[in-house]
């Protein structure tokens, strides 16, 4: 893999930039006496220059033919003064890694999505480290950082990044990200990073000054698409493929979550992801560490996680939005207005047994048929959630699930996710039922752009028929209001919710039936108005789990399946320790059940029974 940008080795630095349509390129080293050095171009459109006595931290610009002044390196590894300032040389080999880490099995991962800027008061990589022990104690073993590639200002979700190789300066830059990854690995926690390859942000986007990174052949919600298959696309493909190897090799990451892969258009004979798959296999063998790719895709296509040789994109996992939608509309009576194509119990059952709910049916939201069947895909190829940055941040009040439904429904949601045959993911604070909002926020410096963002956000919510305007994303208070209150998890109902999730995670990690991701061993039986029993079996068929959910406020009844032996209760949401307040009256399900028993299922409750087959 070609190394782009500034690559430091000893006291020598090799500068490389792709600009196929430019005849000349100068390197502008910024020091007490600013130097302009001519770079040499090869036949593939890459300019190179090796410079002696350049130390880490040295700042520079590139000056392409036709530009009046120097501009930052599109493959910059650090922008100490922000998106408009000079790029800085980074010694990627200086950090001394403490942990000899080879990774964790995919099936074992419990994900936790977090935003660096709002996870702590300080909003830095380093400030996260003291909280890792709490996450590990909860059972979390994989954190997924929202994008940290350099974006404008110091407040942003990260999807406005314009330097994919560079680590956000206000979060602590490259060294502090490595410090966080190392500290997480010391505690047995994998680290994933959200990356954006479908567009670059509007402010500080200088890539087009160097080469044809964009194409008007396709259009995205953010403007022209990235040029993955048009003229000159070889350099663009190499640029983004390099981002993957850069973070894998230099930051010891365990994988990437790739934003909106359906907005990456590539009709070439060899798809971008097919190329990446070959390069990753070589890197995995070289580095000896696991590395997974997770896709966000709106296509409901099983091809996303199929191997390239079978016509797929080669991702290991994809987000399963259908699971969220199918469950949410049954928990929140207002949910149907948001997801009009969901609301049937059969859809939730299908989400458990198949994966995609929409697998070729007509969908009103899209005014067409949507999706294909995922019934044959193993469970570990899907990641499910009750909340994520989009589901919360794209509500006018930034409301979390804890602000929309009551405590019992939150417990049901947690159990529905953690007992599913898929990889689960919490959104930061969800494990204790945090009730601080999470808004959309930016900190642009260009006045016209700020006006466009504010107005665009207001019009977006007009379409949802909200009665109030969303908070101004540019105002710092919007950002500050989104910060977690970490102390809440220690008391009251927050502590109860935290312990509830701990208990469910512990069961997930220890019960053989929950370690089996073969969907042939998953059954769902519907009962009552909105009740269902999730039946899981171990891979050797010797242990079974019966998870009985009642999403209705009214009690219902369920016939216990015929089996040899007794069913033994292991989790009961109606017991005293799991109630929101001490003054509530506990119910408590029977400890043992016989085959064929008629069980009265209390409203808004979940009970789990275990059986060892003899």
Instruction: Indicate left, alpha or beta for 150 from its phi (over 0: left) and psi (-120 to 50: alpha).
Output: beta
Same domain, 472 and 576: no
Same domain, 522 and 496: no
Phi, psi of 332 (to 5 degrees): -120, 120
Same domain, 335 and 415: yes
Domain with 577 in it: 516-612
Query: Does some domain include residue 520?
Result: yes
Q: 44 to each of 22, 156, 235, 318, 579, how far by Cα in Å? A: 12, 36, 8, 35, 66
Query: Does some domain include residue 434?
Result: yes
| Distance, CA of 305 to CA of 464 (rounded, Å) | 32
Query: Does some domain include residue 211?
Result: no
Q: Considering just the CA atoms, what is the radius of gyration of the chain in Å?
A: 26
Are 594 and 560 in contact by the 8 Å Cβ rule? The answer is yes
Are 222 and 214 in contact by the 8 Å Cβ rule? The answer is no
Q: 588: domain CATH number?
A: 2.60.40.1180
Number of domains in the chain: 3
- Token code pair at residue 403: 């602000």
259, 322, 341, 610: which is the annotated catalytic residue? 259
**462 burial via Cβ count (<10 Å: 0-12, 13-18, 19+):** exposed
Task: Check if 575 is active-site.
Answer: no
296, 380, 431, 610: which is the annotated catalytic residue? 296
C-alpha dihedral sign at 120, 124, 127, 131: positive
pLDDT for 69-104, tens place per residue? 999 999 999 999 999 999 999 999 999 999 999 999
Same domain, 75 and 144: no
Q: What is the pLDDT of residue 469?
A: 81
* Residues with pLDDT less than 70, the chain: 32, 462-467
**562 burial via Cβ count (<10 Å: 0-12, 13-18, 19+):** exposed
| Distance, CA of 218 to CA of 233 (rounded, Å) | 14
Query: Does some domain include residue 286?
Result: yes
Same domain, 520 and 489: no
| Distance, CA of 448 to CA of 466 (rounded, Å) | 25
Q: 351: domain CATH number?
A: 3.20.20.80
Instruction: Indicate left, alpha or beta for 264 from its phi (over 0: left) and psi (-120 to 50: alpha).
Output: beta
| Distance, CA of 560 to CA of 574 (rounded, Å) | 19
End-to-end CA distance of the chain: 56
Query: Does some domain include residue 531?
Result: yes
Helix (H, G, I), strand (E, B) or coil at 254: coil
Nearest C-alpha neighbor of 429 from the set 410, 449, 451, 453: 410
pLDDT for 470-507, tens place per residue? 899 999 999 999 999 999 999 999 999 999 999 999 99
Q: 75: domain CATH number?
A: 2.60.40.10
Q: What is the pLDDT of residue 268?
A: 93
Same domain, 269 and 345: yes
Domain boundary among 40, 55, 88: 88
Query: Does some domain include residue 441?
Result: yes
Q: What is the pLDDT of residue 470?
A: 87
| Distance, CA of 276 to CA of 453 (rounded, Å) | 34
pLDDT for 270-292, tens place per residue? 999 999 999 999 999 999 999 99
Query: Does some domain include residue 310?
Result: yes
- Token code pair at residue 97: 């890694």
Same domain, 84 and 134: no
Helix (H, G, I), strand (E, B) or coil at 8: strand
- Identify each DSSP E strand in 10-76 by its residue range: 12-18, 25-30, 35-38, 40-41, 46-52, 59-64
Nearest C-alpha neighbor of 109 from the set 382, 431, 512: 382
Same domain, 84 and 112: no
Q: Residue 468: how many CB atoms within 10 A of its CB?
A: 8
- Identify each DSSP E strand in 408-552 by its residue range: 423-427, 522-527, 531-537, 543-550
Task: Check if 160 is active-site.
Answer: no
Same domain, 499 and 531: no
Q: What contacts 273, CB < 8 A, 6 or more positions away?
A: 261, 266, 308, 313, 314, 315
With pLDDT > 70 as the criterion, what percentage of the chain qualifies?
Answer: 99
Q: What is the pLDDT of residue 32?
A: 66
Same domain, 69 and 128: no
Domain boundary among 451, 469, 504: 504
Residue that is written with structure tokens 């001519």 in the block: 38
Same domain, 534 and 443: no
Query: Does some domain include residue 231?
Result: no
Domain boundary among 88, 115, 133: 88
| Distance, CA of 331 to CA of 357 (rounded, Å) | 17
Same domain, 35 and 175: no
């Amino acid at each position: 893999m070609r190394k782009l940008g500034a690559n430091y080795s000893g006291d020598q630095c090799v500068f490389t930039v792709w600009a196929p349509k430019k005849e000349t390129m100068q390197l502008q080293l910024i020091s007490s006496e600013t130097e302009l050095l001519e770079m040499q171009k090869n036949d593939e459109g890459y300019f190179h220059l090796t410079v002696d006595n350049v130390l880490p931290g040295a700042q520079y610009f590139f000056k392409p033919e036709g530009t009046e002044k120097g501009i930052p390196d599109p493959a910059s590894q650090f922008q100490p003064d922000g998106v408009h300032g000079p790029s800085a040389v980074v010694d990627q080999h200086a950090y001394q890694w403490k942990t000899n880490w080879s990774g964790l099995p995919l099936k074992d991962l419990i994900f936790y999505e977090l935003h660096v800027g709002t996870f702590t008061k300080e909003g830095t990589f380093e400030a996260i480290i003291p909280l890792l022990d709490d996450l590990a104690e909860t059972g979390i073993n994989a954190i997924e950082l929202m994008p940290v590639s350099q974006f404008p200002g110091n407040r942003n979700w990260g999807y406005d990044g314009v330097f994919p190789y560079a680590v956000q300066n206000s979060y602590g830059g490259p060294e502090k990200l490595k410090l966080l990854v190392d500290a997480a690995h010391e505690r047995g926690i994998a680290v994933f990073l959200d990356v954006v390859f479908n567009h670059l942000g509007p402010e500080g986007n200088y890539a087009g000054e160097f080469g044809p990174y964009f194409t008007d052949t396709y259009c995205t919600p953010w403007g022209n698409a990235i040029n993955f298959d048009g003229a000159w696309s070889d350099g663009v493909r190499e640029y983004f493929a390099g981002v993957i190897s850069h973070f894998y090799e230099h930051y010891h990451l365990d994988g990437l979550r790739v934003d909106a892969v359906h907005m990456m258009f590539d009709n070439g004979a060899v798809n971008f992801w097919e190329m990446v798959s070959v390069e990753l296999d070589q890197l995995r063998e070289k580095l000896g560490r696991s590395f997974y790719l997770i896709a966000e895709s709106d296509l409901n296509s099983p091809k996303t996680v199929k191997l390239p040789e079978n016509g797929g994109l080669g991702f290991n996992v994809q987000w399963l939005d259908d699971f969220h939608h199918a469950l949410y509309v049954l928990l929140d009576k207002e949910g149907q207005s948001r997801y009009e194509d969901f609301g049937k119990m059969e859809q939730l059952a299908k989400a458990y047994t198949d994966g995609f709910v929409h697998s070729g049916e007509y969908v009103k939201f899209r005014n067409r048929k949507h999706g294909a069947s995922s019934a044959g895909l193993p469970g570990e190829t899907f990641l499910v959630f009750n909340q994520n940055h989009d589901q919360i941040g794209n509500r006018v009040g930034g409301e979390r699930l804890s602000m929309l439904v009551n405590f019992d429904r939150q417990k049901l949601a947690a159990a529905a996710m953690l007992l599913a045959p898929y990889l689960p993911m919490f959104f930061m604070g969800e494990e204790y039922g945090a009730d601080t909002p999470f808004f959309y926020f930016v900190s642009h410096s260009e006045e016209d752009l700020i006006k466009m963002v504010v107005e665009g956000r207001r019009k977006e919510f007009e379409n949802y028929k909200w009665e109030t305007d969303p908070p101004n994303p540019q105002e710092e208070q919007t950002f500050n209001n989104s910060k977690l209150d970490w102390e809440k998890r220690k008391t009251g109902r927050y502590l109860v919710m935290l312990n509830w999730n701990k208990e469910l995670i512990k069961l997930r990690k220890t019960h053989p039936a929950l370690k089996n991701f073969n969907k042939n061993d998953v059954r769902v039986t519907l009962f009552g108005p909105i009740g269902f029993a999730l039946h899981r079996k171990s891979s050797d068929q010797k242990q079974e789990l019966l998870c009985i959910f009642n999403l209705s406020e009214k009690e219902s009844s369920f016939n216990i399946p015929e089996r040899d032996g007794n069913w033994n209760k292991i989790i009961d949401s109606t017991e005293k320790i799991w109630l929101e307040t001490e003054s509530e009256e506990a119910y408590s399900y029977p400890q043992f059940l016989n085959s064929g028993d008629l069980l009265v299922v209390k409203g808004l409750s979940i009970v789990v029974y275990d059986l060892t087959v003899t």
